[in-house]
Amino acid sequence: MATLINEGKAKQLFTTDDPNIIQVHYLNQATALNGKRKEPVADKGVVNNQIDSLIFNYLNQQGIATHFIKQLSPSDQLVKKMKMVRLEVVVRNYASGSFQRKFDTEYLLKFDEPVQEFYYKSDRLDDPFINDSQIHALQIATPEQLSTMRDQVFKINQLLNQLFAKAGITLVDFKVEFGFDPDGNLILGDEISPDSCRLVDSQTHASLDKDVFRKHTGNVMDGYRTVLSRLEATVK
């Protein structure tokens, strides 16, 4: 019998017969402001599970170690059980969101080199920015672990840039999370979907991600469905 282990903002985690494997169920709901705003969104779970499964399959094939095992059904997938590092790892190729606000830059200013940032995962504290020495002081990760995550996230950024470019989509920025698998390896976990990436149409710059929900600028599922159908056409 599968038991609910944890319910996050967009997913539920269940036990399986194997103690090292977790079943992830994607929910039909969207949140913003760190969960303070929550609304049902029909089909979002199914579309996000398919986008995430396609992306993680691609990353696994490209030699990135991830928690992803396989897609089980339209809304569910199997992943390795992970002990997550309490960090959000953000990469930015263009200015948007909190970077644009903080430094008052032009929207979609292109960076010569991708920008990488860490945030401390805490809903209570609203995920504050954290630097390397703060991470070490709080014993969240060692210098070696930080450099592994940095190396991996830049490789992931290159691979995702290539994948999305083929689909006519520009990857503005994204967030990933790492954790330790049952063998103690530090690998990519969590989710990569339009909930955790900024994606714009390469030609029109129309927003295809959760910013549409955050800013109330239209039907958020239109962009998510565009991302899925274009990625499916790309990997065929």
**Ramachandran class of 34: left when φ > 0, alpha when ψ lies in -120 to 50, beta otherwise:** left
Q: Please say which residue, 68 or 174, places its beta carbon nearer to ligand C5P.
A: 174
Q: Pick one of 98, 145, 202, 234: the residue that binds ligand C5P (CB under 6 A).
A: 98
Q: Please say which residue, 50 or 207, places its beta carbon nearer to ligand C5P.
A: 207
Q: Residues for the chain: how many in total?
A: 236
Q: Does 90 bind ligand C5P (CB under 6 A)?
A: yes
Q: Please say which residue, 173 or 181, places its beta carbon nearer to ligand C5P.
A: 173
Residue where the block lists tokens 């089980």: 72
Binding string, 123-142, against ligand C5P, x = CB under 6 A? ----x---------------
Choose among 4, 5, 10, 6: nearest CA to 175: 10
Identify the burial level of 174 via C-beta atoms within 10 angstroms of its C-beta, where 0-12 means exposed, 13-18 middle and 19 or more buried: buried
Choose among 52, 60, 97: nearest CA to 195: 52
Q: Please say which residue, 29 or 98, places its beta carbon nearer to ligand C5P.
A: 98
Residues in region 149-178 near ligand C5P by CB under 6 A: 173-175
Task: Pick the piece of the chain touching ligand C5P (CB under 6 A) from 57-65, 77-85, 92-100, 181-189.
Answer: 92-100
Residues in region 28-67 near ligand C5P by CB under 6 A: none
Q: Pick one of 196, 200, 207, 224: the residue that binds ligand C5P (CB under 6 A).
A: 196
Longest dimension (CA), the chain: 52
Nearest-CB residue for ligand C5P: 97
Q: Does 197 bind ligand C5P (CB under 6 A)?
A: yes
Q: Are 47 and 26 in contact (CB under 8 A)?
A: no
Q: Please say which residue, 16 or 98, places its beta carbon nearer to ligand C5P.
A: 98
Identify the burial level of 126 via C-beta atoms within 10 angstroms of its C-beta, where 0-12 means exposed, 13-18 middle and 19 or more buried: exposed
Q: Does 116 bind ligand C5P (CB under 6 A)?
A: no
User: Measured from the CB of residue 150, what is the shortest distance to ligand C5P in angstroms?
Assistant: 16
Task: Pick the piece of the chain touching ligand C5P (CB under 6 A) from 51-59, 107-115, 147-155, 190-198.
Answer: 190-198
Residue 109 has what DSSP assignment? P
Q: Please say which residue, 23 or 157, places its beta carbon nearer to ligand C5P.
A: 157
Residue 70 vs residues 46, 49, 61, 155, 180: alpha-carbon distances, Å? 15, 11, 12, 22, 18
3-class DSSP state of 169: strand
If one counts every other C-beta atom within 10 angstroms of the C-beta of residue 116, the result is: 14
Q: Under the rule (CB under 6 A), what is the footprint of ligand C5P?
A: 88, 90, 96-99, 127, 173-175, 196-198, 210
